[in-house]
Every structure is written in structure tokens, then in C-alpha cells.
Amino acid sequence: MPACTLNDVLMKAAPFPTALAASLRKVLGAGRLHTEAAERTAYAYDNSRRRGEAGAVAFPQTEAEVAAIVRICHAAYWPVVVRGLGSNTVGATVPSEGALVISTERMNRIVAVHAADRYLIAEAGVSNTGIQAAAREQGLFWPPDPSSAAYSTLGGNLGCNAAGPHAVKYGTPRENILGLSAVTGTGEIIRVGTHTTKGVVGYDLTRLLLGSEGTLGIITRATLKLWPWPEAVITLRACYTNVSAAAAAVTRIMSRPDLPWVLEFMDRAALDLVRGQGVVLPEAAGALLLIEVEGAHGALDRAVGNVSRAAAGPGCLGVDAAANEREAGELRRARKSLSPALRCLREGKINEDVVVPVSQVPALVARLESLAAEAAIPIVSFGHVGNGNLHVNLLFDPDDPREREEAAVALPKVFQAVLDLGGTLSGEHGVGLTKRDFIAMELAPPVLDLMRGIKQVFDPHGILNRGKTLPLAEVNADA
Ligand SMILES: Cc1cc2nc3c(=O)[nH]c(=O)nc-3n(C[C@H](O)[C@H](O)[C@H](O)COP(=O)(O)OP(=O)(O)OC[C@H]3O[C@@H](n4cnc5c(N)ncnc54)[C@H](O)[C@@H]3O)c2cc1C
């Protein structure tokens, strides 16, 4: 990526209108609207490593303030981007055209925990770990558990429909949100969904907003469905000679009734990174499954036996239970650190999170191996394989034009392979800017038109996270 100085950023940014700033200050006071260079720069990028142009940054503390801010920007046709902690990998919070960034950092209250009804209400800016801590005090948990839990917010998790290992058994936010409050693109506050685990009144706007990346509404608070924290968890490590043997074991495990609550995959290159962190693995291991089975004390041994038998099979070098919590924690930590650790192999990476039906995982893994050989670049895969969701990382040296070009050429081939196998381009990271121009490979023109129509209804002036998610044929961007 070319070096970008603070001056470059400020020179490019459209000036933030003085009258608009004055109106916003009436809502926020002087201290919670920042137009200084330092704040604008700090909020103009995300974990995609892209950088944009923020005109100003607002720090509302209440839903009413969010609504007032959006009403002002709607009237002025001024773009806004809602931002949690900017940990998304797809450029979903990179502001453009001097947009106003609305940070939810100061909307960070757990509003209520209703243990008897197993739900929790929280504001959008609470971190995922904050939610887990509040639920855990009542012996409960919320299943979405991205590796970025400590530095991602509820709003960001819902904006991307972000998930983690526990989705294999308990699902993503779409299966674990009962209802929410949001502010639409006109500044109207809407409350959708329920506090109950059943409800079918009207269209399901809750799930429409989940995964919509801040393009339809700004979620201000949500009602989360909680589950009992298990009595016991057993961690298993299954090593295989190669990725195909591990992929075949996944299909066997997932076809059994005793579903693990974690089923993670690592290929040979990922294992080398794990070894680099001091985890000792058999030398012959070319792939690994990290499996966790949870349940009540009395029933656990039988479930672990069944899962272990399914994991064993051709190419399996052994299925071992972690001797203690230290050993289990070491494996979990190594898995979580894989994404940043990839930078040790190559500075450049295209990080995808494709999904295929579980029975097609062996075919996808074989296709990725042949694409890596064809392109002569490393393709490292790991991830939530129980959902058929693999983080496929195309690695390249940014200073090597051949590797850069090969990675760019291989990317649409990876997507095509995934679609040919009945899969989808993203399981949890979302579309943002980086995948926006590929989604027409998956969604037919009438479907995209319907989505643009929905955007128009929620956000008639096209101010919410303009230019993200849907391929251009902009919605009223120039109105
Ligand atoms: C090391 C690392 C590991 C990661 N691991 C995982 C993983 O295991 N699983 C996974 O799914 N993701 C993972 N991610 C990606 C990222 O952390 C998630 O997408 C996370 O949910 C983003 O949260 P955030 O608060 O940082 O949101 P942001 O990045 O600030 O925003 C993400 C999107 O949500 C929208 N948004 C934010 N707040 C709101 C709101 N209140 N209302 C409506 N929309 C909103 C934004 O506009 C944007 O489109 C990882 C990232 C890193 C850096």
C-alpha cells in the first residue's frame, strides 16, 4: 500500500460544512463532535488497512442523539458511517466523501439481564467480551464469539453478522438476536423483533438489519438470546497426515447427532505458525481439527466417544484430549492468533471467509491446493470448518509484482470454485468495499435490484455507509 501522510488525507477530504457542524454541536455539545485532524485521521481507517476521508467524528451517548444527528445529515444529504471499533476486515467503516463518522464508543451500557427469560439487552457500543462477562455472571452465554471479541462491539458484530467457533452448534447473531432498536436513514427510531424466542408478527426486519453493515440503519441497542453455560467442556486435538483426510473427517463428525460446539480446521502452513508459538504437534501432521464437546457431566463421556470415533479414520494420526485447561487454552490461543500471525509469512494478504456445504469441504480444500500450485503463492486456510466456513488467505509480497498479480488473479477463481460447490462468498466478515464488486457473481440482477429498493426505503437520501455492500448503481447518491 502506498504511504499516506496525514496531509494527503486532509487535502483529499471534502471540507465539513460549518453550518452542519454548528447544528450537530447543538445536539452533542462542543465536546462530542470532533473536526480536528487527529480525530478525523484516527477514525478514517479500519482493519482492511484501507484509509478514507472522515469529515468529522460524533460521539453520541443516547439513541435520541443518534436520531437527531441522522435527521440533520438526512436533511443535508451528508453521508454518515456508523463505527464500532473498526476491526472489520472488508473496509466496511472506511468513510468516503468527508462522511461524518458516528462512533458508538460512548453507548456502552448493559441495560438489563433477564436470566429467567434468558435474554440480555445491551447498547451497540458494548464489547463482545463485556456481553459475555455480564451473561456469565448469570451462568449464561451469548454464542457469537469472534476471535476479535475483546476489540469488537455488539453493533459491529450485528452489522457484519460476525460469529466464531460456537456458531457450528449455536449459530450466528441471526439465530441469537430476538429484537433491536435502530435509527433509519431518515432519523426515525424503530423497534423491531421481540423479547421472546417465538414471534411472527409482520416482516422480519430484525434479520434484515443484521449483516446490513450500517447501510439500512444504525442499531442502537439489541435483545440477545442467551444459553446456559455448559457444565463441562472437553477439548480434543485430531491430527491428520493431510488436509483431505481432515476434511473427510469433518463430514463424518457433522453427520452425527452429537454436534461439537467447536470444530476448527488448520492446514499445514497454519500448523507451522502454531508450532512457532510453542505448541508441540506430531511431525507428520499436515492438518489438524480442534474439537470441543460440551454438555452435562453425565452425558459428556458418551458424546466425546462418539465424536472421537467419527474423527478417527483414514489418514488420522490420533485424537487426543487436552490433559488440562492449560493445554486446551494453549491450542485455543494459537488458533485465535493465526490471522495476525500470517504477516510472518508474507506482508500482503487477501483474507477471505468463504463457505461451502460441509460435504463439499474436501473438494474446496483440493481446489485451493491446486490454485496455490498454479499461482505459485501460499494459500493458507483455517477456520470454522463445521459450518463449511474457511478463512482462505492468499499471501503475497507487496513488493513483488508477480506475486501481487497472481493473488489478484487467483481471487475470482477461489470465489468461482466456492460458488460451483454451492457455497457463498462470505460467512461472517461481510462485503464492505473489498467484496462489493464480486457479489454480482453470487446474486442475480433481480435480487440486487430488490436489495437496492430496500435500501431506498430505509435510506431515501442514500446517506448511510454510502458505497458499501451493494455494487454501484448508487441509491440516490446524487439526489
Ligand atoms: C484479529 C481479528 C480477528 C477477527 N476474528 C473474527 C471472527 O472470528 N469472526 C468474525 O466474524 N469476525 C472476525 N473479525 C472481524 C471483526 O472483528 C468483526 O467483523 C467485528 O464484528 C467488527 O466489530 P467492530 O465493533 O470492530 O465493528 P466495525 O468494524 O466498526 O464495523 C463493522 C460493520 O458494522 C457496522 N456497524 C458498526 N456498528 C453498527 C451499529 N451500531 N449499527 C449498524 N451497523 C453497525 C459498520 O458500519 C461496519 O459496516 C476479526 C478481526 C480481527 C482484526
Q: Alpha-carbon distance 71 to 345, whole Å?
A: 47
Order of strands, edge to edge, in the sheet holding 33-34? 33-34, 54-58, 99-103, 80-83
Q: Dihedral, CA atoms, 9, 88, 478, 456, nearest 10 degrees?
A: -160
DSSP 241: S
Burial of 454 (0-12, 13-18, 19+ CB in 10 A): middle
Hey, what CATH class is 6-103 in?
alpha beta
What's the pLDDT score for residue 1?
Answer: 40
* Residue 196: other Cβ atoms inside 10 A: 12
N-to-C CA span, the chain: 33
Query: Per residue in 424-458, pLDDT tens?
Result: 999 999 999 999 999 999 999 999 999 999 999 99
- Topology alike, domains 110-228 and 232-336: no
Ligand 1 centroid from CA 155, angstroms = 8
Per domain, the residue ranges of the chain are 6-103, 110-228, 232-336, 340-420
What's the pLDDT score for residue 254?
Answer: 94
Q: How confident is the model at residue 473 (pLDDT cuts 50, 70, 90)?
A: low
What's the pLDDT score for residue 339?
Answer: 82
Ligand 1 centroid from CA 320, angstroms = 34
Is residue 30 scored above 90 in pLDDT? no
142-152 burial, b at 16+ Cβ within 10 Å, e below that, comes to: bbbbbbbbebb
What's the pLDDT score for residue 6?
Answer: 45
Query: Per residue in 387-426, pLDDT tens?
Result: 999 999 999 999 999 999 999 999 999 999 999 999 999 9
245: its cell numbers: 483426510
Backbone φ/ψ region at 213: left (φ over 0), alpha (ψ -120 to 50), beta: left
Q: Whose CA is nearest to atom 52 of ligand 1?
A: 148
Q: How confident is the model at residue 478 (pLDDT cuts 50, 70, 90)?
A: very low
Q: Alpha-carbon distance 306 to 88, whole Å?
A: 37
Is residue 3 scored above 50 in pLDDT? no
The residue with greater pLDDT, 344 or 217, is 217
Is residue 384 scored above 50 in pLDDT? yes
Given the DSSP bridges, would you call strands 262-267 and 140-141 parallel, antiparallel or unpaired? Answer: unpaired
CA atoms within 13 A on the CB side of 48: 21
Query: Per residue in 78-131, pLDDT tens?
Result: 999 999 999 999 999 999 999 999 999 999 999 999 999 999 999 999 999 999
User: Which residue among 87, 107, 353 has the greatest number of ligand 1 atoms within 8 angstroms of its CB, and so is best to mutate?
Assistant: 87
What's the pLDDT score for residue 14?
Answer: 62
Question: What is the pLDDT averaged over residues 335-355?
Answer: 88
Q: For residue 92, give every residue at least 6 positions away whose Cβ sits within 8 Å of its Cβ, in sequence order, or none.
A: 46, 48, 159, 160, 213, 214, 430, 431, 432, 433, 465, 468, 469
Burial of 116 (0-12, 13-18, 19+ CB in 10 A): exposed
Ligand 1 centroid from CA 86, angstroms = 6
Q: Alpha-carbon distance 162 to 85, whole Å?
A: 13
Is residue 476 scored above 60 in pLDDT? no
DSSP 45: B
Q: Whose CA is nearest to atom 40 of ligand 1?
A: 155
Question: What is the pLDDT averaged over residues 340-349?
Answer: 86
Q: Alpha-carbon distance 36 to 425, whole Å?
A: 38
CATH architecture assignment, domain 232-336? 2-Layer Sandwich (3.30)
What's the pLDDT score for residue 146?
Answer: 95
Instruction: Identify the residues whose C-beta falls under 6 Å from ligand 1.
Output: 46-47, 81-89, 92-93, 104, 124, 146-148, 152-153, 155-157, 159-160, 162-164, 213-214, 218-219, 339-340, 428-429, 465
Query: Per residue in 255-296, pLDDT tens?
Result: 999 999 999 999 998 999 888 888 888 999 999 999 999 999
Could you tell me if 316 and 240 are in contact, meaning their C-beta atoms sit under 8 angstroms apart?
A: yes
H or E stretch including 85? none
| Beta bridge mates, 122 | 110, 222
What's the pLDDT score for residue 212?
Answer: 98
Arithmetic mean of pLDDT over the chain: 93
What's the pLDDT score for residue 345?
Answer: 86
CATH architecture assignment, domain 110-228? 2-Layer Sandwich (3.30)
Is residue 479 scored above 50 in pLDDT? no
Q: Which CATH number fits domain 340-420: 3.30.70.2740, 3.40.50.10470, 3.40.50.2300, 3.60.21.10?
A: 3.30.70.2740
Q: Alpha-carbon distance 263 to 58, whole Å?
A: 40
Map residue 394 onto helix, strand or coil.
Answer: strand
Is residue 13 scored above 60 in pLDDT? no
Q: Alpha-carbon distance 179 to 42, whole Å?
A: 32
